[in-house]
Amino acid sequence: MPSFDIVSELDMHEVNNALDQANREVGNRYDFKGVEATFTLKDGNVALKAEADFQLQQMLDILMQKLAKRGVDLKHLKAEDPVVFHKNATQTVKLQQGIATDIAKNIVKKIKSEKLKVQAAIQGEQVRVTGKKRDDLQNVISMLRDANLDVPLQYVNFRD
């Protein structure tokens, strides 16, 4: 019976490469000369550190640009509010992976509302879709691509 999995994964290797490029660009830019501005990755979050709030905004733009060039979907990012304390400003950008339970339930509900002959089951942070016909599974994929979900989805493990 054909099946596939719906997941939301982040390629951490590409994120590391984008962070390295962003750190190099910040080190070479004229408006950041003499400023201690860095990007660091720890616990699945990117920490931005600079001296002022406007520099953090510029750094966030650089980070988004580098991630987009590397093919990382920007829906994975969730920027928190910057924290400014004297001559030290920090901001945390959370990297979201996996499909949350409420979003997975919403995906299953959308699949069932299409009345296709497929079954969708939530398995941890992914959704498995099985059906008798390959065409039904492809219809599910196209329907989910057209749906405007706030999570980037990938379709893996397509089996006949």
Range of the domain at 111: 3-8+99-159
State the sign of the Cα–Cα–Cα–Cα dihedral 92, 10, 61, 100: negative
Same domain flag for 36 and 90? yes
Shared domain for 34 and 83, answered yes or no, is yes
What pLDDT is stored for residue 152 in this prediction?
87
pLDDT at residue 125, rounded to an integer = 87
- The sign of the torsion formed by the CA atoms of 68, 63, 82, 39 equals positive
Q: Judge if 67 and 34 occupy the same domain.
A: yes
Strand order in the sheet with 126-131: 118-123, 126-131, 3-7, 154-159
Do 51 and 36 share a domain, yes or no?
yes
Which stretches in the chain have pLDDT values below 50? none
pLDDT of amino acid 92: 92
Of 95, 117, 137, which marks where a domain is finished?
Answer: 95
Same domain flag for 70 and 132: no
Encoded amino acid at 11, one letter? D
Please tell me the predicted confidence (pLDDT) of residue 112: 85
Residue 100 is predicted with a pLDDT of 85
- Tens of pLDDT, residues 21-50: 999 999 888 888 888 888 999 888 999 999
